[in-house]
Amino acid sequence: MSSAIQYAINWTGPRGEKVRGINMSLGGPSDESTLHLSIKNAVQANIMVVCAARK
């Protein structure tokens, strides 16, 4: 998951487009600290992050 968020942060389209929003539905095991850091990096890159989570 974190690598997908990093990809979105770094992605640039053929006309200079950038990702403006990420929508995620989370569930299951993950490294929460790494995921949280990736989400914080996306927000710092001016990407809106919307998450639905279930434990």
What are the structure tokens assigned to 10, written together?
Answer: 């770094």
Would you state the structure tokens that stand for residue 24, as one six-digit string?
Answer: 């995620």
Each residue's pLDDT tens digit, 36-48: 999 999 999 999 9
The pTM for the full model equals 0.83
At 4-47, the pLDDT tens digits run: 999 999 999 999 999 999 999 988 776 788 899 999 999 999 99
CB atoms within 10 A of CB 38: 21
Q: What is the pLDDT of residue 4?
A: 94
Burial class (CB in 10 A: 0-12, 13-18, 19+), 35: middle
